[in-house]
Structure 1
Amino acid sequence: MEFSISSEQQMIIDTVKAFVEQELYPHEAEIERTGILSDEVHEKIKQASLECGLYAANMPEELGGGGLDAVTLTLLEKELGRASFALQYIVARPSNILLACEGEQREKYLLPAIRGEKVDCLALTEPDAGSDVRSMKCRAERDGDHFIINGSKHFISHADVSDFVILFASTGIEDTPRGPKKKITSFLVDMGTPGFTVEPGYNSVSHRGYQNCILNFDNCRIHESQILGVEDHGFDVANEWLGGTRLSVAAMCLGRAERALEIATQWSAERKQFGQTIGKFQGVSFKLANMSLELKAAELLTMHAAWKLDQGNMTDTDAAMAKLKSTEMLGMVADEAIQILGGMGLMDELPLERIWRDHRVERIWDGTSEIQRHIISRALLRPLEA
């Protein structure tokens, strides 16, 4: 594994860092105050990211995307992660799952998403089906060459600004050695399709301005040509997507933690108490050391997983370790940074209280910390048939 950063990668890092500081940071305070990302700001950031070539950096170059390898993409997402999530997600990473599009689907969904003409969202979670995806109740029943969809989804990120949804629904039951299990199929469903409505979601303490929504399907009729991938094999499509997404979460947490550590370090070098800077007190300096250590450990796990993804041999355990370590590390770093700054750390003049609030969802979405630990332990025990 090569630990050095190439000149091209450094150029990308510098470009993204400048973009974040110039295009994203100026809007953070307003979003935190109002909880709203205006259409004007959204479009401004989107156009700026298109102009500088950051949009759809994860998609193949031959399709019009950035064509970045996993390591370089992880470095890019780390820098984006320093900003408010409501702002940085606009520098879109269309779902890799769209690469499963075939035929007319490519022209209708994949290519417009890469060009920034359409935005996708992913609908997997339900009120009674979070980590236990197979228990989903949203169903799609075949009716000739159509499917009739009924059910609901919730916690669907940015569905309020999306043009279509990548929907996972139950399409039957199959017998397995462990008993009956639901078959899952993924579909591409356009916003505005009769029988499909989008409602505002819940107020969250994390990621203000980034909305979650509730999707309702009431006899929503779609054509079989809107199946993404193979009927009854939606999990095959999802499994390809989940690993890369968990790496994205890990990378963004690295960027946020790095920003928090920088603020805490600067404060420790300038703030004076009892006649000296507080960084000279062991109670503070050891905190900084531990924060830096945990950040580096999480970074190494994440970059190692990204490197293995480029080699074509990243495992579920690699992605799980990266997400688990990075998300839990961010919580520790944010909390310690606030402790070092004292009362000022909780004031909204600084981004620390936001980073502290925002970190909490990272240990839940895209697979809870408990799910990641299950993945890791399962990989250890299965070879022993335990």
Structure 2
Amino acid sequence: MLLDTVKRFMEEEIYPHEDLVDRDGEVPIELGRQIEARSKQAGLFAANLPESIGGGGLDYEAMHIIEREFGKTSHALHSWIARPTEILLACAGEQVERYLLPCVTGGKRELFALTEPEAGSDIMSMRTNARRNGKDWILNGSKHFISGPVMPDFAIVFAATGSDETPRGQRRRITAFLVDVGEKGFDIAVGNKCVSYRGYHTFRLNFTDVRLGPGQILGEEGYGLELAGKWLGMGRVWVGAVCCGKAERLFQMAVEWAANRKQFGQPIGRFQGTGFKLADMAVELRAADLLVEDAVRRANAKTMTDVDASMVKLYCSEMLGRIADNTVQIYGGMGLMEELPVQRLWRDSRLERIWDGTSEIQRHIISRSILRPLGA
């Protein structure tokens, strides 16, 4: 029933607007608000958060169904159906009314601000910092490639607040702050335009002596990375689900084209050069789906590890890249024509191997887990 609801919503509210958004590079604000409003009516808005605070209360298996279907279209459109960052569940006291609950109702939108120009994959080299000033904190630094569908109301900003001695040497202490748009010294604007997911903004954030009160720390001082890790792990699994959804849509296009496009008097799918591509695509998609399902079951059982999430992110994003490329190849020249959606899905697919941790970072996490027990 959930799957039917999501599919119907996509067909009625999302797919009809794909070409417009890709062509103009923007989701008209009235369209975004319409998607937001109708997703609330359908019960899809904030479905990932607990019922106790007004969310949909769906578990990971149910969210897997949703994320996979959303993956068939652009983030520019489906992200208007908010799934607030679960790290906000760390809100306490006045933060609940000020930040968490408005995100559940749609009264506010947040950004997850971790990446910097000099600290993408290497988070511990971040330059954004906050120093104590009496009871307050003074925030300085910058972030970029912080993605979202619309100008936010506040950002969850990660900053270095000191360092600690560990058995492996000094380790920077990272803290998460809740920073309202409009705070003095906080400048935010739409940044670079990406060829993937046109209309899905990448914001740049700059902080110049932004004064924050003690009530604007999310969680505890020094525990920002621990909070981020809880979100990033499932975030990578959801990337995997998105990749499977998009791969299925591309695969269906490839199959239909191979069955109906004729050359030398027969459908091109009968030629091994095309038919074998379809066979490989089907196997890879099945394997990717099973990998995501396994991670989701582990997450529901609270046994999923960072390595599990990295395996999903790595395999599914690279599987999608291969399926997207093969679909273009099967379509031939028509696969690159703007009149058909294949080229858009091909462009969108490329980003999945980069954000939420590049393929190289995922391989590093996986290989490190293999070698560390042996002291290497």
- Which TM-score applies when normalising by structure 2? 0.98
Aligned to 2:136: 146
CA shift, 1:200, in A, is 2.2
SS at match of 2:102: helix
Aligned to 2:147: 157
Alpha-carbon distance in 2 for matches of 1:374, 1:80: 29
Gaps of 5+ in 2: none
Q: Does 1:43 align with 2:33?
A: yes
SS at match of 2:340: coil
CA shift, 1:350, in A, is 2.0
Q: Residue type matched to 2:105 in 1?
A: R
Q: For residues 53-93 of structure 1, what are the alpha-carbon distances to aligned partners after superposition, in whole Å with 9 as ceiling and x for unaligned?
A: 00111111121111111111011110011112200111111
The answer to whether the Cα contact below 8 Å between 1:137 and 1:170 also exists between their aligned partners in 2 is yes
Alpha-carbon distance in 2 for matches of 1:254, 1:160: 26
Q: For residues 298-347 of structure 1, what are the alpha-carbon distances to aligned partners after superposition, in whole Å with 9 as ceiling and x for unaligned?
A: 11111100110000100111111111111001100000001111111111
Alpha-carbon distance in 2 for matches of 1:165, 1:185: 13
Aligned to 1:215: 205
Alpha-carbon distance in 2 for matches of 1:57, 1:314: 21
CA shift, 1:160, in A, is 4.7
Q: State the identity as a percent.
A: 54
Q: For residues 210-256 of structure 1, what are the alpha-carbon distances to aligned partners after superposition, in whole Å with 9 as ceiling and x for unaligned?
A: 01011000110110101001101111111111111111111111111
Aligned to 1:15: 5
CA shift, 1:158, in A, is 1.9
The answer to whether the Cα contact below 8 Å between 1:160 and 1:198 also exists between their aligned partners in 2 is no
Alpha-carbon distance in 2 for matches of 1:325, 1:14: 27
Q: Which stretches of structure 1, 4 residues or longer, exceed 6 Å deviation after superposition? A: none
SS at match of 2:131: strand
Q: Does 1:273 align with 2:263?
A: yes
SS at match of 1:32: helix
Q: Does 1:58 align with 2:58?
A: no
Alpha-carbon distance in 2 for matches of 1:152, 1:160: 19
Alpha-carbon distance in 1 for matches of 2:102, 2:322: 40
Aligned to 1:248: 238
Q: Residue type matched to 2:163 in 1?
A: I
Alpha-carbon distance in 2 for matches of 1:358, 1:150: 33
Alignment of 1:84-163 (within 5 A): 84-158=74-148, 160-163=150-153
Q: Residue type matched to 1:70 in 2?
A: Y
Q: Residue type matched to 1:285 in 2?
A: G
Q: Does 1:325 align with 2:315?
A: yes
The answer to whether the Cα contact below 8 Å between 1:198 and 1:213 also exists between their aligned partners in 2 is yes
Aligned to 2:249: 259
CA shift, 1:177, in A, is 2.4
Which piece of structure 1 moves more, 169-178 or 94-103? 169-178
The answer to whether the Cα contact below 8 Å between 2:149 and 2:200 also exists between their aligned partners in 1 is no
1:159 and 1:267, CA in 2 relative to 1: closer, same or farther beyond 3 A? closer
Alpha-carbon distance in 1 for matches of 2:278, 2:110: 40
SS at match of 1:79: helix
CA shift, 1:379, in A, is 1.4
Aligned to 2:302: 312
Q: For residues 130-152 of structure 1, what are the alpha-carbon distances to aligned partners after superposition, in whole Å with 9 as ceiling and x for unaligned?
A: 11111001111111111110111
Aligned to 2:331: 341
The answer to whether the Cα contact below 8 Å between 1:160 and 1:213 also exists between their aligned partners in 2 is no
Q: Does 1:191 align with 2:181?
A: yes
The answer to whether the Cα contact below 8 Å between 1:159 and 1:198 also exists between their aligned partners in 2 is no
Q: For residues 265-293 of structure 1, what are the alpha-carbon distances to aligned partners after superposition, in whole Å with 9 as ceiling and x for unaligned?
A: 01111111111111111111111110111
Aligned to 1:379: 369
Aligned to 2:167: 177
CA shift, 1:356, in A, is 1.1
SS at match of 2:4: helix
Aligned to 2:58: 68
Q: For residues 84-114 of structure 1, what are the alpha-carbon distances to aligned partners after superposition, in whole Å with 9 as ceiling and x for unaligned?
A: 2200111111001001111111111111111
CA shift, 1:159, in A, is 7.5
